[in-house]
Amino acid sequence: MAEAQPELAKAVQSEITQSIKQYRRWWHIWGMTASMVTILSILSSFAAGICAATKGNHHKFWPTVLAGFPALLLTFDQNFKFRARSDWFWNLVLRYQALQRALERGELTAKEASRKIDDIEDKADATDPTVTRSPNAPKSKIA
């Protein structure tokens, strides 16, 4: 039984480290996507203004497309919730880092840390911004 504890501790530490790396990567991807959508929206608005101000423009199609592009990008951002996804993954990173520090300081045993991992994942599933819930369903908060 004494040999099972070090194996459990290694497995829990490995799971925490992997989760931090994975969630940090997704936080970065969604955060960069949200930033790019915002930047492209601003640039296309600027380009549409230039096209509208240019008198020698013979094609009316491109200025019209450029004028509608920011709204399309912002609709994508609202529907796919890029920033909310990024924030959600960052909260998971913070929770796992706190768990890792508590485990390293000896404030938790491997079994307690394993239970906390399950709690983090359950609460994260309940607060996933991409899942639509009925208005009457209770919202849980990651605490």
Segment 78-105, tens digit of pLDDT? 889 999 999 999 999 999 999 999 999 9
Give the tokens for residue 66.
């450029």
- The pLDDT score that the predictor gives to residue 111 is 92
Other CB atoms within a 10 A radius of the CB of residue 83 amount to 18
Q: Which residues contact 143 (CB under 8 A, 6 or more apart)?
A: 123
- The larger pLDDT score, comparing residue 2 to residue 133, is at 133
Under the banding of pLDDT at 50, 70 and 90, the label for residue 67 is confident
pTM for the model: 0.79
Average pLDDT, integer, range 6-15: 91
- Give the chain's radius of gyration (CA, Å): 23
Under the banding of pLDDT at 50, 70 and 90, the label for residue 133 is low
Other CB atoms within a 10 A radius of the CB of residue 48 amount to 19
Average pLDDT, integer, range 14-39: 96
d(CA 69, CA 130): 24
